[in-house]
Amino acid sequence: MLSPEIILITVLSYFAILTLISYITGREDNNKVFFKANKNSNWLIVAFGMVGASLSGVTFISVPGWVEDSQFTYFQVVLGYLVGYLFVASVLLPIYYRIGLTSIYEYLDQRFGQNSYFVGSVFFLISRVLGASFRLFLVAIVLQEFVFDSMKIPFEITVIFSILLIWLYTKRGGIKTIVWTDTIQTTFMILAVILSIIYINKSLDWSITEFLYSSDLKEYNKIFVMDNFLERNFFWKHFIGGAFITICMTGLDQDMMQKNLTCRNIGEAKKNMVLFSFILTFVTFLFILLGALLYIYAYKNNISIPANSDLLFPKIALEGSLGQFVGITFILGLIAAAYSSADSALTSLTTSFCIDILKINKLSPDRQLKIRKQTHIWMSLALIIVVIIYRYVLDRNVIDSLLTVAQYTYGPLLGLFAFGIFTKFKIDDKKVYYVVIINMILIIILGNIDSSSIGGYSIGYELLPINGLLNFIGLYLIRK
């Protein structure tokens, strides 16, 4: 069993490394470096680092914990992700590079006007705060459960401690720091899942091949659901929903696109996105495979399954008989996965709020720098508040909660960008608020309809494209 003291030392040592990287990359403390990394990032480094930012702590512990309930059906969503990433690379990235954006929501200003620009920016801020908080919540509850509870430290202090560490190493270098720290974090995360699979198999006296062909694995390895269209996890619902989730949560998200916009040119940005998408698909499958292995190990060793399945992986890694090496590997992988997404989220939130809401580009350089630093602090405080709220309101698996929330918050962005890209119409920009509010009400009603009232049909992740379509139709009705 890994002691709380060893876990804490591991966490602090890890952050010492990130702080050193921040010091090296943050020597130029200016907004051009913070927002765009001087547009000089190596595309291979960006591609690899984006894997960690995309997967996050949600994938690291929530996806494995979800396997008993969902088997391997989440991989249907992941296949949809792959199609979505290819769309982002071929359609959205060329638009962003052609216009030369710092914030991708500036496109909405040029295409429709100030009100659409504001709506897009606000929905990104809401979506990213909620999404980043989901990811931070996971790592916070693990640290609380296995470290800080034994020290009688409240959950609220754990959250503040976690976000303070992120703020410290991102406050100067911004996206330039993130590109490099994400690379290290992705490395630790992938090593953690691979070593966990190897050591758990060794503990079960299995080779990897024996595990893959075992009868135990067959109890979990159902991927495709093709027999019942009414089911929430029917293949085409998951696949199409996954594609649109990626288009929105990557292609229409300042967090993920800000890294791509640091590449030297559009050709390198496209290569980055394509390579990243295939690495991500493979690594996500490893996490799903690990989930089956964790349940097999737990049942064979009479380990009780936690009521919160998200805690299964940490429980086995930190309290099981796999040894301290696996425990330390897990902690490094967890904080790497969680903070690789949270640190970039904090940077992109700061960027979007400064550029899109406060419009600091119109101010003097000294004033811009001061406002950016203040905004960075306020965004950190916003994340702290939302993570603490999750502690008291969240009652379901985090990966499912994250994707469910995304269906509501990214719909207006999907509708706005789709209408802008695929039509030549202008809109009455002053009426965009009515469109968004009315459609938000409709989609909330639709998303909460009881399946028994619609012939047993269970609404899944296809709610996101439906949300985007309703917003698209609303924009068409206010066209000029």
Domain ranges in the chain are 4-396
Instruction: Say which range, 14-28, 301-315, 446-460, has the weakest mean pLDDT.
Output: 14-28
Question: How many angstroms from the chain centroid is the CA of residue 246?
Answer: 10
Average pLDDT over residues 214-240: 88
* 3-state SS, one letter per residue, for the chain: CCCHHHHHHHHHHHHHHHHHHHHHHCCCCCHHHHHHHHHCECHHHHHHHHHHHHHHHHHHHHHHHHHHHHCCCHHHHHHHHHHHHHHHHHHHHHHHHHHCCCCCCHHHHHHCCHHHHHHHHHHHHHHHHHHHHHHHHHHHHHHHHHHHCCCCCCHHHHHHHHHHHHHHHHCCCCHHHHHHHHHHHHHHHHHHHHHHHHHHHHHCCCCHHHHHCCHHHHCCCCCCCCCCCCCCCCHHHHHHHHHHHHHHHHHCCHHHHHHHCCECCHHHHHHHHHHHHHHHHHHHHHHHHHHHHHHHHHHHCCCCCCCCHHHHHHHHHHHCCCCHHHHHHHHHHHHHHHHHHHHHHHHHHHHHHHHHHCCHHHCCHHHHHHHHHHHHHHHHHHHHHHHHHHHHHCCCCHHHHHHHHHHHHCHHHHHHHHHHHHCCCCECHHHHHHHHHHHHHHHHHHHCCCHHHHCCCCCCCCHHHHHHHHHHHHHHHCEC
Give the separation between CA 339 and CA 304, rounded to whole angstroms. Answer: 29
Give the separation between CA 329 and CA 288, rounded to whole angstroms. Answer: 18
Asked if 339 and 166 count as a contact pair (C-beta separation under 8 A), the reply is: yes
Give the separation between CA 233 and CA 353, rounded to whole angstroms. Answer: 36
Within 10 angstroms of residue 275's Cβ, the number of other Cβ atoms is: 18
Burial label for 129, CB within 10 Å (0-12, 13-18, 19+), is buried
pLDDT of residue 112: 94
For residue 64, name the pLDDT band (cuts at 50, 70, 90). Answer: confident
Percent of the chain residues topping a pLDDT of 70:
85
Average pLDDT over residues 437-456: 87
Percent of the chain residues topping a pLDDT of 90:
24
Give the separation between CA 149 and CA 152, rounded to whole angstroms. Answer: 5
Between 118 and 15, name the one with better pLDDT: 118
Model pLDDT for residues 382-412, shown as the tens digit of each residue: 888 988 988 887 665 566 677 778 888 889 9
Sign of CA dihedral 377, 380, 384, 385: positive
Between 383 and 310, name the one with better pLDDT: 383
Average pLDDT over residues 449-474: 87
- Tokens at residue 337, please? 């996965």
Q: Residue 29: pLDDT above 60?
A: no
Average pLDDT over the chain reads: 82
Give the separation between CA 356 and CA 350, rounded to whole angstroms. Answer: 10
CATH topology of domain 4-396: Sodium/glucose cotransporter (1.20.1730)
Model pLDDT for residues 188-223, shown as the tens digit of each residue: 778 888 888 998 999 899 999 999 999 999 999 899
Average pLDDT over residues 313-323: 79
For the chain, the residue count is: 480
Give the separation between CA 14 and CA 1, rounded to whole angstroms. Answer: 20
pLDDT of residue 296: 94
For residue 166, name the pLDDT band (cuts at 50, 70, 90). Answer: confident
Q: Residue 366: pLDDT above 60?
A: yes
Name the phi and psi angles at 383, rounded to 5.
Answer: -65, -40
pLDDT of residue 31: 47
- Using only C-alpha atoms, what is the Rg of the chain? 22
Q: Residue 175: pLDDT above 60?
A: no
Sign of CA dihedral 27, 36, 248, 239: negative
Max Cα–Cα distance, the chain, nearest Å = 69
Name the phi and psi angles at 479, rounded to 5.
Answer: -70, 160
- Tokens at residue 258, please? 């800000």
pLDDT of residue 413: 92
Instruction: Say which range, 107-111, 260-264, 288-292, has the weakest mean pLDDT.
Output: 260-264
For residue 171, name the pLDDT band (cuts at 50, 70, 90). Answer: low
Name the phi and psi angles at 261, rounded to 5.
Answer: -75, -5
Q: Residue 446: pLDDT above 50?
A: yes
Q: Residue 177: pLDDT above 70?
A: no
Name the phi and psi angles at 400, rounded to 5.
Answer: -70, -40
